[in-house]
Structures are given as C-alpha cells and as structure tokens.
Amino acid sequence: MKFPLLLCLSGLLIVSALCAQERLPMEETVRYAKLCTDQIGVLNDSPIRLEVSPEKACAVRGEGGGAMAIPDSALTADKVAKPGKEVIPVAQVWLRKWTVVVDDKGLARDKLRVVTIKIDDKDRPMPLLLVGIQQQGDGTELVAYGQGNEPLLRVPAQKVEFIAQTPVELDWARGENNIDKLTISVAGRYQAVLPITRESN
C-alpha cells in the first residue's frame, strides 16, 4: 500500500512544482513592470485613473503567452471590501501573445489598447487592460477597459478570503476550445476569471 501512496504523493509534488514555475520570479517581474510603466508614463485618456506600483507586480507564464498585473498603489483589502457603483481602480494587466475573448472569439489588436514596449532592444507590442472592480446589481464585477470609455468585458467577481502575496495575483489555467482561464485575485478578497486565447495576428 505504501508504494502507490508514495507514487501519488510524488505526482502531487511534481504538479505543485510545475504550477509554481508558471509564476515569474519577483526580481524579473519587477524589471518588466518598471520597463512598461516607465515607457508609457501617464495615460491621460484612461477611463479609470491608475497610479501603479511596479514593485508589487505579479506575472505568470502560460502555454503560448504570459500576463502581468501591476496593481494600483492605493489598492487595499479594505478599499474593495464593499465595492460601490463607482469603479475602483485595480491594476494594469499586460498580455503577451494572448488576447481576451469576447463572445467566444479572441479580440484582434485593433479592438485593444496595444502598447509597444522596448525590452532587451526588441519592440514588443502588448495588449494593455485597465482593470477595475464595481458593484453591479446584487453582485460584483471585474471590468476591463481597452480603448475608449466602455469596458471590453465584464466578468463576475466572487468573494474569497486568503492572504495574498501581492495586491493583485494572476493564475493561468488551460481551458477548452483554445480558451484558457486567467484568474485575477484582488487584494485577497475577490477573484474573477478572464477568458483569454492566443493572438491570431
């Protein structure tokens, strides 16, 4: 009986190690976050005002792409404890070789806010989502903006409670029909899932 149990435990440890490898080391994440924020400066056309903290960023790598969240400097668990009708700024979410899915289709770049960032002497165009949270009816939603003042998409935000390592955390999981799941955790109080897929262009 011990041998199968050991195999099972070994398998769980391997899976845990693989999951942990999806998150980029903090030093590398902060480097990328500072490159992005330094190069875009202040977004005067943003529908929500974000003053971000690159030193508190979180980034994940998934099959075929990656994502990074740079939280708003004023984001706290208390601030999002009871969202109201006004959108509370949450984070800049940068995508690399991924795009968001709306109506079961990945959005083309011309529908997104795409910013070209120079990293290691290479120009890298990346979709940038401006993410907030607000009350909607009897529930709470995560809203993601691209270009313009209207959200690209709204997704339900579920209440959770855990100790977060960073104000905004990301987790990538493989999904079905080439649509993956990017879970966004906000201040250890809410979680929402953004549907994403690989860019086609």
Cα angle 140, 146, 150 (rounded to 5 degrees) comes to 60
CB distance 67 to 170 below 8 Å = yes
CA distance linking residue 156 with residue 1, whole number of Å: 44
pTM over 0.85: yes
Note every long-range contact of 82-88, with CB atoms under 8 Å and residues 24 or more positions apart, other chains counting.
83/133, 83/134, 83/135, 83/140, 84/134, 84/135, 85/134, 85/135, 86/134, 87/47, 87/48, 87/132, 87/133, 87/134, 87/143, 88/132, 88/133, 88/134
How many other β-carbons are positioned within 10 Å of the β-carbon of residue 27?
Answer: 7
Domain boundaries, the chain: 21-198
Full pLDDT tens readout for the chain, 201 residues: 444 433 333 343 333 333 444 899 999 999 999 999 999 988 888 899 999 999 999 999 998 899 999 999 999 999 999 899 999 999 999 999 999 999 999 999 988 999 999 998 999 999 999 999 999 888 999 999 998 899 999 999 999 999 999 999 999 999 998 999 999 999 999 999 999 999 875
Strand 122-136 to 139-145 pairing: antiparallel
CB distance 22 to 64 below 8 Å = no
Question: DSSP per residue over 180-200, as a string?
Answer: EEEEEEETTTEEEEEEEEE--
CA distance linking residue 136 with residue 104, whole number of Å: 22
